[in-house]
């Protein structure tokens, strides 16, 4: 990968960005890894499968609820310190999980790991956005996002395989080692991005009450619900429309992983070229079309491995391309001073959407047929698309705002709005 500086000279992306990828690969893998080693954990700790499954639920709930709160509490600290400190706690929590003598101790370690991951993730995305040169925030965010995407499609399967070979405790040791390497790398390479200036709690909470920010979080919630609903029931959809072959399903999941990773990276470039808001229109609009095609195949009876595979690949590109443009839009709406809590709130919206996706999809499949899943999902995405459109009363202001922003959607130096306290946005030290 390469970038161009303001002078137009091509240079390599900085090493710290790939370390961010590694850090988010570790935190993302930790969230879902229990799903791949569930039977081993339940058997070794002498608990039921449902109880072991609550280790995943606890991590997700704690992560979602704590992310915006911790972002406000720790927002005044330098981002590098937050990431390194958070990763150290994360390493200790996973080492504790590997050594846990029983279920209560393992649950406690999972809660601590979730709290640390929430801090690391929010600080990492803020660093990627604020540490990017002019016109490249989308690409920087896409590399960070790719770490979370890779966790789902590579980290979790690798961890599950290792757990099967060496035991489930080895999986947590692996996550701890990867996170420790990331912490050491960030300590030496991450840019110095300061925290927000001291302010009363009411002012620090202001971005969490911003209509523009909440509107974008609603977009994330709806888009995440729709996309993850289809992903949750993808195996049932493939069996219904193409084949029940286990080999075919494995190939489809591979297609989703490769296309999803490509989508995460490509959407960052689109966000830089078009601006994050137009990039968001492109990604969500394409997602709506992809889900509509999936529904059409299901009801039209025109499926088959090649057709379904092509549609699944097309869908994956847009489904995993959401984060860079939505994060860029949120950074623009919140401003640099409030970027971290706003991004944390967006993460909570995504996690909440994930939970709703499974529940709604389950109700729908139980009552009707799996072919209705992409139909409902496309409806949710359509509503999220409508939320991204400018409102008529503010059209003039929106045009003025767009004139004042750079191609990547960040405010120009001369026109960046002050934060809620009247201060200018914090500077970024490279």
Q: Is the pLDDT of residue 96 over 80?
A: yes
Q: Is residue 126 part of a domain?
A: yes
Do residues 282 and 358 both lie within one domain? yes
Instruction: Check residue 291 and give its pLDDT.
Output: 95
Count the neighbouring beta carbons within 10 Å of the beta carbon of residue 6: 9
Do residues 274 and 355 both lie within one domain? yes
The count of C-alpha atoms lying within 13 angstroms of the C-alpha of 135, restricted to the half-sphere facing its C-beta, is 8
- Helices 168-189 and 156-166: crossing angle in degrees, nearest 10, is 130
Instruction: Check residue 236 and give its pLDDT.
Output: 85
Do residues 81 and 22 both lie within one domain? yes
Write out pLDDT tens, residues 395-415. 444 443 443 444 444 444 333
Mean pLDDT of 240-265: 84
Q: Which of 169, 150, 19, 148 minimizes the C-alpha distance to 87?
A: 19
Do residues 112 and 238 both lie within one domain? no
From CA 240, how far away is CA 238, in angstroms rounded?
A: 5
For 58, the 3-state DSSP assignment is helix
Which of 117-131, 227-241, 331-345 holds the top average pLDDT? 117-131
Domain boundary among the residues 136, 164, 195 is at 195
Q: How many domains does the chain have?
A: 2
CATH number of 361's domain: 1.20.1250.20
Q: Is the pLDDT of residue 201 over 90?
A: no
Record the pTM. Answer: 0.77
Do residues 256 and 146 both lie within one domain? no
Q: Is the pLDDT of residue 361 over 60?
A: yes
Domain boundary among the residues 195, 229, 255 is at 195
Do residues 247 and 394 both lie within one domain? yes
Q: What integer best gives the mean pLDDT of the chain?
A: 82
Do residues 85 and 24 both lie within one domain? yes
From CA 106, how far away is CA 55, in angstroms rounded?
A: 8
Mean pLDDT of 44-51: 86
Q: Is residue 323 part of a domain?
A: yes
Do residues 105 and 146 both lie within one domain? yes
Q: Is the pLDDT of residue 341 over 50?
A: yes
Do residues 220 and 292 both lie within one domain? yes
Do residues 172 and 228 both lie within one domain? no
Q: Is the pLDDT of residue 326 over 50?
A: yes
Q: Is residue 109 part of a domain?
A: yes
Domain boundary among the residues 195, 222, 249 is at 195
State percent of the chain over pLDDT 70: 84
Range of the domain at 396: 204-411
**The dihedral formed by the CA atoms of 124, 321, 172 and 174, expressed in degrees to the nearest 10:** -80
Q: Is residue 87 part of a domain?
A: yes
For 14, the 3-state DSSP assignment is coil
**The dihedral formed by the CA atoms of 277, 286, 221 and 369, expressed in degrees to the nearest 10:** 170
Q: Is residue 3 part of a domain?
A: no
Write out pLDDT tens, residues 294-308. 999 988 877 788 899
């Amino acid at each position: 990968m390469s970038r161009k500086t303001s002078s137009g000279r091509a240079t390599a992306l900085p090493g710290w960005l790939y370390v961010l990828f590694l850090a988010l690969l570790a935190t993302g893998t930790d969230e879902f890894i229990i799903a791949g080693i569930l039977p081993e954990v339940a058997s070794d700790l002498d608990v039921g499968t449902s109880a072991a499954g609550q280790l995943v639920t606890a991590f997700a709930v704690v992560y979602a609820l704590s992310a915006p709160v911790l972002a406000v509490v720790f927002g005044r600290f330098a981002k590098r310190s937050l990431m390194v400190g958070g990763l150290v706690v994360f390493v200790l929590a996973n080492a504790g999980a590997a050594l846990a003598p029983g279920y209560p101790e393992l649950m406690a370690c999972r809660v601590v790991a979730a709290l640390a991951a929430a801090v690391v993730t929010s600080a990492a995305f803020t660093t990627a956005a604020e540490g990017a040169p002019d016109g490249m925030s989308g690409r920087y965010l896409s590399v960070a996002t790719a770490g979370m995407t890779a966790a789902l499609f590579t980290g979790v399967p690798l961890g599950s395989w290792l757990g099967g070979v060496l035991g489930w405790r080895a999986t947590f040791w692996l996550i701890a080692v990867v996170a420790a390497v990331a912490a050491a790398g960030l300590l030496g390479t991450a840019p110095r991005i300061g925290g927000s200036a001291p302010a009363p709690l009411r002012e620090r909470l202001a971005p969490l009450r911003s209509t523009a920010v909440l509107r974008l979080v609603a977009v994330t919630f709806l888009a995440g619900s729709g996309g993850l609903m289809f992903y949750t029931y993808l195996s049932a959809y493939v069996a219904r429309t193409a084949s029940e072959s286990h080999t075919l399903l494995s190939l489809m999941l591979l297609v989703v992983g490769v296309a999803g990773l490509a989508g995460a990276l490509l959407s960052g470039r689109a966000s830089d070229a078009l601006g994050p808001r137009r990039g968001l229109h492109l990604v969500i609009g394409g997602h709506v079309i992809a889900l509509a095609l999936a529904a059409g195949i299901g009801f039209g009876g025109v499926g088959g491995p090649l057709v379904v595979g092509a549609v699944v690949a097309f869908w994956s590109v847009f489904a995993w391309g959401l984060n860079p443009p939505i994060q860029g839009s949120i950074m623009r709406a919140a401003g640099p001073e409030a970027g971290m809590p706003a991004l944390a709130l967006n993460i909570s919206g995504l996690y909440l959407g994930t939970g709703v996706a499974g529940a709604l999809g389950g109700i729908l499949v139980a009552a009707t047929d799996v072919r209705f899943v992409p139909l409902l999902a496309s409806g949710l995405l359509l509503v999220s698309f409508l939320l991204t459109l400018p409102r008529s009363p503010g059209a003039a202001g929106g045009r003025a705002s767009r004139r004042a922003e750079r191609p990547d959607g960040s405010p120009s130096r001369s026109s960046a709005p002050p934060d809620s306290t009247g201060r200018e946005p914090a500077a970024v030290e490279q």
